[in-house]
Structure 1
Amino acid sequence: MSEALTPERLRSLTPLNVLSEQQWRELRRQLVPQPVLAGQWLFRRGDQARLTYYLLAGELQLEAADGRQQRLVAGSEASCHPLSPSLPRLQDARALTDLSVLVLDSGTLNRLVTWRLAHQDLLLELGASYEELEWLERLLDSPLFARVPPANVRAMLERLQLVELQAGSTVLREGEAGDCCYFLKSGRVEVIRGTGTERQVLAELEVGACFGEEALLAERPRNATVTVVEDAVVLRLARRDFVALLKEPVVNEIGLGEAARLLTAGAQWLDVRLQGEYERAHAVSALNMPLQLLRLKARLLDRSRTYLCYCDSGRRSASAVFLLSQLGFDGYGLRGGLDALPEVQREGLLCESGAGYLVRSGGRVERSG
């Protein structure tokens, strides 16, 4: 038995109904109805799995320890709430008919709901101060801001400087030093790399987009030019405020010991150095995605996986972690980079050389020749 999981159906489920469409996209791998055959147990009393269940189709029976029973029918008001949400479970759940259920990771759901409610309060608070909140709503819908505390967002908004730009003007220029980043409030801008016959348009940014942050993270010159396609309004954030309010809560760094624990749990090394650096020596099974290509190739990564980024100094890996956060991935940087490791640890980590591993669509990995 299957039940179409439409946006309307999602909006009928509590607390999914408070999430934004961007947050539903973050959950999309989990938004797949699961079949349960009549007579099967969905869960038993005492179960402690951190999962949230919703009944989408069919009928089931909940039975408490004292024998009290509750018959639950899909489409009823009660079915719009999680089934036996307390842990450990206080009830048995058995399918009376073939069922369709939605099963979500409770930790992820709780994080998204908490973030959404906290930022809704912020939007209400700011409603009297900002004439137009659409750009801010789009900004806060970025996966990046799921990791930024509301207090930091509030402080950031107080420090933004508004800049009006005409079509054809340049906001950032490739090769220049970076002392700030920007958020696009209105209009259209495009990101360009190279000049003349080497000129390449990399992207056209949407309202709410952050740009110029990579030079601040890596402490390197701008790696692209940003020009205005249609009259625009941007908001400028100085380097020191960017580092204190956005980078510090988002760019998580770990040591080699913690990295080993995460690898055991299924994490993946991501080498963000140049291909030549990677081929000289790299970590076992590490994927190579040079920082300048990461934004273009990130669609090939697996969103259900945690990526451990490394480079020589730690600067490129910090940029990579920030970028992955913007795109909705979980990532950590190796603290201090390879240069900070004792020689014996560095040699133990970088124990492979030559061509390595290629990532394909859907996160599938192949060993290159």
Structure 2
Amino acid sequence: MSNATPRLTLELLLRFSPFDFLTPHYQQQALDSLQYVQRKAGTPLFKRGEKSLALYYLLEGKVGLGEEGTRKPMLGGSLEACHALNETQPQAQAVVALSDVTLFALERGLLERLLNWSQSADYGVVSLSMQAEEQQGHDDWLAKLLRSPLFGRLPPPHLHKLLARFEFIEVAGGEAVVRYGEPGEHFFVLKQGRAAVTLPSAYQQEPRQILQVGDFFGEEALVSGAVRSATVTMLEDGVLARLERELFVELVHPTLIPQISSEQLHRMTRLGQRQFLLLDVRLPMEYRLGHQAGSISLPVANLRTHAESLDRHTLYAVTPEGGIRSELAVHLLNQFGFEAYLLTDPPEQSPVAA
């Protein structure tokens, strides 16, 4: 098998089910989200009865379906191979690689969301955009918001409710929308204008972040219950879409923190041959008193400054001991472009003291 992993084109992806049911925008999003896996001949791919977070498709090679002695062969490129090898949950039959194989995979939850969006497009995304244009004029703030990881997980009914409850306010250039250290009461989306994110002068700060139309802010204080971690000041006159804390917590907060069990974590990384890392985001003192075996200490306050040193191909599981801090860390990591989950089950072993 070649060392170069094949990559699908959009045309080839549409030969697999159910990608042909997606609208063009979501077809491209699915293509960009695929992961590719290569396994050697003789490797067990799935066991009967197991569950997995991703759907895996045979791209190249030959696999056997069923138990040894009764296995049915399947070739990459065949009509049968247009369906996922692990379509049913729990897994209906064992699957083993009969030759060197190449698979591609997509998270089940993501595919379900893309199908949901596509099948309800007339009522979902299209009508959302039409409502925004009718109410506030034509711009692309909502389209950008819907493409974000934060809102991409929400079902259309939730988005309709959110849009109906957004309050649009005019703000002047130079006005501080939120201030460092104040309690958080609202979630904001920048509909018109630009804004700057700054910290107090006592901090050694990187160049200030500039927010553009469609960017959002204020969710961290609502996730963590803490005070505002930065000041956001308008650089010019603009318009903000504002959402009250209670509605944000009710509709948005549950989707911010994807969760994973230890069993799911090991299955996902075993089949995909991916590395994972356990992160303990409590203070170093708390970590030294006891932590899960194999976890490393990375306090949530240091995530921004240390994010560039993290490997983007690694899956990150945040241990739950930090409570709200663990939830905030998962949200921040996903916002930074990493794949992160909150580990749901308690440790199997007693905590280890440093």
Task: Select the residue among 237, 246, 249 that pairs with 1:243.
Answer: 249
Q: State the one-letter code of the partner of 2:104.
A: V
Asked if the contact 1:247/1:322 (under 8 Å) is kept, the reply is no
CA distance in 1: counterparts of 2:229 and 2:249, whole angstroms: 19
- Residues 20-73 of structure 1: CA deviation (Å, up to 9, x unaligned): 65554543xx136x488xxx79999x97886532446x9x79999xxxx99989
Q: State the one-letter code of the partner of 2:339.
A: F
- Do structure 1's residue 294 and structure 2's residue 308 form an aligned pair? no
Residue number in structure 1 paired with 2:105: 104
Residue number in structure 1 paired with 2:181: 175
Residue number in structure 1 paired with 2:331: 322
Residue number in structure 1 paired with 2:283: 274
Give the superposition deviation at 1:238.
0.9
Residue number in structure 1 paired with 2:114: 116
Give the superposition deviation at 1:124.
2.5
TM-score for both structures, normalised by structure 2: 0.67
TM-score for both structures, normalised by structure 1: 0.65
- Do structure 1's residue 31 and structure 2's residue 31 form an aligned pair? no
- Residues 223-258 of structure 1: CA deviation (Å, up to 9, x unaligned): 1112234554321111111111111344468xxxx9
Give unpaired runs (5+ residues) of structure 1.
336-340, 354-369
Which deviates further from its counterpart, 79-88 or 154-163?
79-88
- Do structure 1's residue 128 and structure 2's residue 126 form an aligned pair? no
How many residue pairs were aligned? 318
Give the superposition deviation at 1:193.
1.7
Asked if the contact 1:251/1:333 (under 8 Å) is kept, the reply is no
> Where do 1:1-369 residues align within 5 Å?
1=2, 5=7, 7-9=9-11, 12-14=14-16, 15-16=18-19, 18=22, 19=26, 23-27=30-34, 30-31=35-36, 34=38, 52-55=56-59, 81-82=82-83, 88=92, 101-104=102-105, 108=107, 110-120=108-118, 121=120, 122-131=124-133, 132=138, 134-195=140-201, 198-201=204-207, 203-205=209-211, 207-229=213-235, 231-251=237-257, 269-279=278-288, 281-298=290-307, 300=310, 303-311=314-322, 314-326=323-335, 327=337, 329-332=339-342, 348-349=350-351, 351-353=352-354
Q: State the one-letter code of the partner of 1:270.
A: L
CA distance in 1: counterparts of 2:215 and 2:226, whole angstroms: 21
Asked if the contact 2:186/2:243 (under 8 Å) is kept, the reply is yes
Give the direction of change, closer, same or farther, for the CA distance of 1:41–1:181 in structure 2 (3 Å limit).
same
Structure number, greater radius of gyration: 1
Asked if the contact 2:36/2:102 (under 8 Å) is kept, the reply is no
Helix, strand or coil: the match of 1:221? coil
Residue number in structure 1 paired with 2:69: none
CA distance in 2: counterparts of 1:126 and 1:240, whole angstroms: 22
Asked if the contact 1:270/1:310 (under 8 Å) is kept, the reply is no
Give the direction of change, closer, same or farther, for the CA distance of 1:225–1:4 in structure 2 (3 Å limit).
same
Helix, strand or coil: the match of 1:201? coil
CA distance in 1: counterparts of 2:284 and 2:104, whole angstroms: 41
Give unpaired runs (5+ residues) of structure 2.
67-71, 270-275
Give the direction of change, closer, same or farther, for the CA distance of 1:316–1:126 in structure 2 (3 Å limit).
same
Which deviates further from its counterpart, 297-306 or 219-228?
297-306
CA distance in 2: counterparts of 1:262 and 1:224, whole angstroms: 36
Give the direction of change, closer, same or farther, for the CA distance of 1:164–1:6 in structure 2 (3 Å limit).
farther
